[in-house]
Amino acid sequence: MFYGVDLTSRLMLGTAQYPSPAVLLEAIEASGAEIITVSLRREGVAGAAFRNILSESRCRLLPNTAGCHTAREAVTTARMAREVFGTSWIKLEVIGHADTLQPDPFALVEAARVLCAEGFEVFPYTTEDLIVGEKLLEAGCRVLMPWGAPIGSGQGLRNPEGLRTMRAHFSGIPLVVDAGIGAPSQAAQAMEMGLDAILLNTAVAKAVDPAAMARAFGRAIQAGREAFEAGLMPRRDMACASTPVFGLAELA
């Protein structure tokens, strides 16, 4: 549940870099996603035509502030997105490093504080830093979106222990792994750790068959969540026989 909205799918899908609108719609349908992200910059290029294409998916839109590097720029973009898309939901990105696209934690918290005060329901793209997470919650956010790895890198979960710690610390807060997921197995790993959802784009958009890849991600995420809820066996340092030694024949 995000900001009081119940959803059945734990996959959130980006809408950039697809070879055609038809392929984009096929991928969205195959994924089972109920939330799709869209950049205001993309909207500025394609206008109402792209908005009409997205409406065919019947998914809930999550506009983002992609490409913003200051709190002021992000806040302005969010305000414009609310007017264009008619939603108070906003995925807040404030990039602090040009190469890694790591979020600027100071500007992120500053922008989140302003937007939450204005009634936005903010989905902040952050790192697995616990202090930054606390500050974002204090600002009014009710969900956190820690990165798995740099955007578009496909590296998967570079700091799984950090994400596990974050899951334990923010036990009642929805956590969405955002960025860096390149394979369904990586998405399943995050879900097995108890995280709540996955947001991805490049791994599907750049696949040879985006619809098939979207379907694979949807299934992997569902399987990972079911495994978490079923209760994964603990890891052991030593072997433990699955067949009991009790009742074996004594040959001596």
CB atoms within 10 A of CB 195: 26
Q: Which residues pair with 95 in a beta bridge?
A: 103
Active-site annotation holder among 10, 42, 82, 91? 91
Q: Is 115 exposed, middle or buried (0-12, 13-18, 19+ CB in 10 A)?
A: buried
Q: Name every residue whose Cβ is closer than 8 Å to that of residue 18 and which is 6 or more positions away in sequence.
A: 24, 27, 205, 210
By the 8 A CB rule, do 8 and 34 touch?
Answer: yes
Q: Is 27 exposed, middle or buried (0-12, 13-18, 19+ CB in 10 A)?
A: buried
**Cα Rg of the chain, angstroms:** 20
Report which DSSP code applies to 172: T
| Strands lying side by side in the sheet with 11-14 | 145-146, 121-126, 89-92, 60-64, 35-39, 11-14, 197-200, 176-178
91 is catalytic: yes
Give binding residues as ranges.
Answer: 152, 179-180, 201-202
Give binding residues for 1-deoxy-D-xylulose 5-phosphate as ranges.
Answer: 152, 179-180, 201-202
Residues annotated as catalytic are 91
